[in-house]
A and B are shown apart, each in its own frame.
Chain A
Amino acid sequence: MKGINITITVLIASAILSYLVAFIAGFGRLSNNIFIRKFTGFYVEVFRGTSLIVQLFWFYYALPGLFDIHLASDFWAAVIAIAMNYGAYMSEIVRGSILSVAKGQREAATALNMSRFQRMRLVILPQAVRMMLPEFGNYLIQMLKATSLVSLVGLTDILYHGDIFRSTHLSLAPTVYILILVFYFILALPLIWLTRWAEKQSSKGVASE
């Protein structure tokens, strides 16, 4: 079981990138500029409307042909596909949490003569981020599951090595797959606990209507 480091690297890289994408797209959808709003809206709908595996194949096979863009390596093609997909889902959470911070908070911040940027950074975001945490945790688990797809575009993750091993030791197939499942479950466990903890934390110190 050598692939475990690939699984974890893909998970971490795509998690960081997707949070970044989520915040950019989330803010984009709340922008005052109608073009930015429409553009990010379009991006979110496209990536939420098609399935991850199709996107993965598309980034891997079709993108180099269409625009002659070569995404450095298989690794980055996979990470970018996962990040763009989950970034789109999570941008909705970013948007929803920001909007659900009580209106009075925004008005109070305006009354205190804060600039738009200060208002977001000092008042709205600290409250909104707390609300996002549990959902982010859930999506992290989803992303862990999604990393298993990268074996299909040739990255040598746990599943890939498991498959190779199975093809040489046919009678051991049940053991191999059960081991892989257990591996994923062990990886998911801390994330599950983290999510539960975040759920408890999320409601503290948030003003809601």
Chain B
Amino acid sequence: MTWNWNYVVESLPAIFQGMWITLGLTIACYLFAMLFGFVWTFVRRIPWRPLQMVVAFIMEFIRSTPPLVQLFFLYYAWPMVPYVGLTLDPITVAIIGLGVHFSTYIAEIYRSGIESIDKGQWEAATALNLSLKDKWTKIILPQAIPPTIPMLGNYLIIMFKEVPLTSTIGVAGMLHMANNFGSKNFAYLEPLTLVALFFLVMSYPTAVLFRKLEQKMNRRFDKSNPTGKIDKGVVT
């Protein structure tokens, strides 16, 4: 079996169709993770020790177990859980499963952003008699959010690369389409290579973009490194 250009052209439409689903799903999962990340961060800030410990444990558990198993759990096992079980369609499972998995990572980013704010800022806000709402929306968040943007961007790329996991529960993304197409014609080489290429073409420019953004952010927020350049020198 060798490379066949005609077959490449044939398989393109199917993969292209899958691409939109992959992209849409990435964005949906990402938004869900961003929102759910807020929930984790908020709950962890409730000053009650037992609750904090339980939440920390749950987050650690979700983070250190494979997302694939979590997806399977949601898809195959959730409908049979007594009382709260529901049957979910694959897309919903994908959004919830990957969303919750990555929300634990994103919550850490939020937390690091909030904790990076100088204590003096909190005290100044209190001294100015700002309300709780003003304190957060006018003082803390405007300083906490921008430095986390490059990190959040990296997670968008990571998530994009995890979305093909959902093909295992039948979401018709790029990988799923390629596998289907491959099994129909007994030739996996071209469709799978195309999928890999598509991923590369989409994730590499985004990664470069976020790297640029990171340098820009460093220049703005890191006073010890005013040029914001990352040392890329060669060891001599």
Whether A184 is near chain B, meaning CB under 8 Å from some CB there, is yes
B157-171 vs A: 1/0 string, CB under 8 Å? 000111111011000
- Which residues of chain B come closer than 8 Å to A57, judged between CB atoms? 175, 179, 188, 192
- Which residues of chain B come closer than 8 Å to A170, judged between CB atoms? 80
Distance between Cα atoms of A191 and B66 in the complex (Å): 14
Stretch of B34-42, B111-119, B127-135, B196-204 that contacts chain A: B196-204
B51-85 vs A: 1/0 string, CB under 8 Å? 00000000011001111111011001110110000
Q: Which of B1, B66, B76, B175 contacts A145 (CB 8 A)?
A: B66
Q: Which of B164, B207, B236 contacts A53 (CB 8 A)?
A: B164
Whether B3 is near chain A, meaning CB under 8 Å from some CB there, is yes
Stretch of B87-95, B145-153, B214-222, B227-235 that contacts chain A: B227-235
* Pairwise interchain contact A45-B81, C-beta atoms closer than 8 A: no
* Pairwise interchain contact B69-A177, C-beta atoms closer than 8 A: yes
Q: Which of B2, B76, B162 contacts A177 (CB 8 A)?
A: B76
Task: Give the shortest distance, in Å, between B148 (CB) and chain A (any CB).
Answer: 18
Q: Footprint of A on B, CB under 8 Å? A: 1-3, 60-61, 64-70, 72-73, 76-78, 80-81, 160-165, 167-168, 175, 179, 182, 187-189, 192-193, 195-196, 199-200, 203-204, 207, 231-236
Most buried by A among B72, B160, B165, B231: B72
* Pairwise interchain contact B231-A99, C-beta atoms closer than 8 A: yes
Most buried by B among A50, A176, A178: A50
Distance between Cα atoms of A145 and B81 in the complex (Å): 24
- Which residues of chain A come closer than 8 Å to B195, judged between CB atoms? 54
* Pairwise interchain contact B69-A180, C-beta atoms closer than 8 A: yes
Distance between Cα atoms of A10 and B66 in the complex (Å): 15
Q: Footprint of B on A, CB under 8 Å? A: 30-32, 37, 45-46, 48-55, 57-58, 61-62, 65-66, 98-100, 106, 120, 124, 141, 144-149, 151-152, 159, 163, 166, 170-171, 173-174, 176-178, 180-181, 184-185, 188-189, 191-192
Given contacts A163-B72, A174-B81, contact A58 B161 (CB under 8 A): no
Given contacts A53-B165, A106-B235, contact A159 B72 (CB under 8 A): yes
Distance between Cα atoms of A149 and B66 in the complex (Å): 9
- Which residues of chain A come closer than 8 Å to B188, judged between CB atoms? 57, 61-62, 65
Task: Give the shortest distance, in Å, between A61 (CB) and chain B (any CB).
Answer: 4
* Pairwise interchain contact A49-B207, C-beta atoms closer than 8 A: yes
Task: Give the shortest distance, in Å, between A66 (CB) and chain B (any CB).
Answer: 5
- Which residues of chain B come closer than 8 Å to A32, judged between CB atoms? 234, 236
Most buried by A among B193, B196, B199, B207: B196
Distance between Cα atoms of A141 and B65 in the complex (Å): 9
* Pairwise interchain contact B233-A65, C-beta atoms closer than 8 A: no
Measured CB to CB, the nearest residue on chain A to B101 is A145
Distance between Cα atoms of A162 and B147 in the complex (Å): 42
- Which residues of chain B come closer than 8 Å to A152, judged between CB atoms? 68, 168
Given contacts A54-B175, A58-B192, A58-B193, contact A174 B68 (CB under 8 A): no
* Pairwise interchain contact A62-B65, C-beta atoms closer than 8 A: no
Closest 5 CB pairs of A and B: A51-B161, A61-B188, A148-B66, A188-B64, A177-B73
Distance between Cα atoms of A30 and B1 in the complex (Å): 38
Task: Give the shortest distance, in Å, between A39 (CB) and chain B (any CB).
Answer: 15
* Pairwise interchain contact B235-A62, C-beta atoms closer than 8 A: no
Task: Give the shortest distance, in Å, between A176 (CB) and chain B (any CB).
Answer: 7
Task: Give the shortest distance, in Å, between A180 (CB) and chain B (any CB).
Answer: 5
* Pairwise interchain contact B233-A54, C-beta atoms closer than 8 A: no
- Which residues of chain B come closer than 8 Å to A144, judged between CB atoms? 64, 66
* Pairwise interchain contact A61-B192, C-beta atoms closer than 8 A: yes
* Pairwise interchain contact A55-B196, C-beta atoms closer than 8 A: yes
* Pairwise interchain contact A177-B72, C-beta atoms closer than 8 A: yes
Distance between Cα atoms of A61 and B185 in the complex (Å): 13
* Pairwise interchain contact A50-B192, C-beta atoms closer than 8 A: no
- Which residues of chain B come closer than 8 Å to A185, judged between CB atoms? 61, 64-65
Most buried by B among A51, A99, A144, A181: A51
